Amino acid sequence: MDAKLYLNKAIMQLSRGLEEGGVQSLKAALEGEGDEVSKTQARVILGEYYVMKGDFAQAKEYLGPVAQDAERLRDQYDDLLDDEICRADMLLDMIERFGFLAE
């Protein structure tokens, strides 16, 4: 399967409460072949998942590359990934502000 199919599968699994399977599908989306848009979306969903779980170090691993590549992603994909980039920035800001709570 390619990244987009794994992403769609993960969203379906997560919506059904199949948390473990959804996370594995998101990780598979990042490892497999596929478009950068789907992989970026998978990174942000994984980052958000780990923020909600309180695992800020793991969240940063997924959100950091999105924030670092934000300018290039915006240039290359116009506003297609704007929501994901904004969400990644917001989550990283939350981690920075409230990360001490997880220590």
Structural domains of the chain, count:
1
Confidence band for 98, pLDDT divided at 50, 70 and 90:
confident
pLDDT in tens, 26-54: 999 999 788 999 999 999 999 999 999 99
pLDDT at 103: 63
Domain of residue 58 covers: 3-102
pLDDT in tens, 48-84: 999 999 999 999 999 999 999 999 999 999 889 999 9
pLDDT at 33: 80
pLDDT at 41: 97
Neighbours of 37 (CB within 10 A): 17
Alpha-helical segments (H) within 1-103: 3-15, 19-31, 36-53, 56-68, 70-77, 82-98
